[in-house]
Amino acid sequence: MVLLHPVGGRSGRPHYVPMRAQTDGDALYVFSSAHGSERHPASFHHLIVHSEITIEIGSESVAFRVVELSGKERETIVGRQAARFPIFADDQRRLARTMPVMRLDRRPAS
């Protein structure tokens, strides 16, 4: 679990969003599942509008850049998540919408 600190897409206010993340090296992957809802969660819209965010990982705050995945890279990550969490695969099959997958790349310290 990580705690995302996105900025509101319309309001500009800070938000705090706990999410389960898949790790791969320094990259993290998060899924805009909204627990199987037919609508994208608000956090997805925040991440698209403001793609540079801070994430709490344990006791550390780290700067990341958000990239929405598509194509083969997205399918690979979705497959890994579905293998780890069968309920995720069930949600994915049931939804009419395509569930967004976001790669969070660590930004260099300034």
Contacts of 90 (CB under 8 A, 6+ apart): 36
What is the domain extent for residue 66? 2-106
pLDDT of residue 96: 84
pTM of the model: 0.85
Number of domains the chain contains: 1
106 in helix, strand or coil? strand
Q: How far apart are CA 71 and CA 67, in angstroms?
A: 13
| pLDDT for residue 106 | 92
CATH code of the domain containing 48: 2.30.110.10
| Interval 3-50: pLDDT, tens | 999 988 889 899 999 988 999 888 899 988 776 677 888 888 888 889
**What mean pLDDT do residues 86-101 have?**
85
Q: What are phi and psi of 61, to 5 degrees?
A: -105, 125
How many whole angstroms from its chain centre is CA 87? 17
Enclosing H/E stretch for 27: strand 27-31
